């Protein structure tokens, strides 16, 4: 910074690079996934977007080498929706969950069928998890 220049607004320690939460390949994959959401993802997104639950959620938000369906960085909460393909990839899902938990996230999972047929229960469960986290 030259004499008389002002630091950029809102940036403390402007010289310090921000730690990347993901890599370019995973970020690109997340962008592509956002374009092809499942019906269950679209339905849940319509109920949790725009701070409707009091926190901001991101859809297909790249974290490390993984892309969770929904993520609230502030609430440290990840919501995963599982279809029938997840019956064959339980080990992979467990590995993802362990990674997310190791960096401080709470992971909750719902079956696509539950989102499509019992959305009120899904929303109540999400709210209960967020409320329980606030009291820890």
pLDDT in tens, 69-125: 999 999 999 999 988 765 667 888 899 999 999 999 999 999 999 999 999 999 999
Residue 47 sits in which domain range? 37-134
Answer yes or no: is 43 within a domain.
Answer: yes
Answer yes or no: is 59 within a domain.
Answer: yes
CATH code at position 101: 3.40.960.10
Answer yes or no: is 55 within a domain.
Answer: yes
CB burial of 6-26 (b: ≥16 within 10 Å; e: otherwise) equals eeeeeeeeeeeeeeeebeeeb
- What is the Cα–Cα distance from 60 to 37, expressed in whole angstroms? 9
Answer yes or no: is 18 within a domain.
Answer: no
Instruction: Please enumerate in sequence order all residues whose Cβ is within 8 A of that of 72, keeping only pairs 6 or more positions apart, or say none.
Output: 55, 56, 57, 58, 78
Task: Report the chain's mean pLDDT, rounded to a whole number.
Answer: 82
Answer yes or no: is 17 within a domain.
Answer: no
Answer yes or no: is 97 within a domain.
Answer: yes
Confidence category of residue 40, pLDDT binned at 50, 70, 90: very high
Answer yes or no: is 12 within a domain.
Answer: no
- Give the DSSP letter of residue 73: T
Answer yes or no: is 24 within a domain.
Answer: no
- What is the Cα–Cα distance from 89 to 93, expressed in whole angstroms? 6
Domains of the chain: total: 1
The distance between the two most distant Cα atoms of the chain, rounded to a whole number of Å, is: 63
User: Whole-model pTM?
Assistant: 0.75
């Amino acid at each position: 910074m030259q004499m008389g220049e002002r630091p950029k607004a809102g940036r403390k320690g402007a010289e310090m690079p921000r730690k990347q939460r993901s890599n370019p390949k995973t970020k690109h994959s997340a962008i592509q996934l956002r374009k092809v959401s499942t019906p269950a993802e679209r339905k849940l997104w319509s109920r949790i977007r725009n701070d409707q639950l009091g926190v901001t959620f991101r859809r297909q938000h790249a974290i490390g080498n993984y892309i969770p369906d929904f993520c609230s960085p502030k609430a440290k909460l990840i919501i995963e929706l599982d279809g029938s393909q997840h019956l064959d990839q339980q080990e992979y899902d467990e590995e993802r969950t362990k990674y997310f938990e190791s960096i401080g996230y709470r992971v909750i999972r719902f079956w696509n069928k539950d989102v499509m047929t019992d959305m009120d229960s899904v929303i109540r469960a999400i709210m209960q998890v967020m409320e329980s986290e606030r009291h820890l």
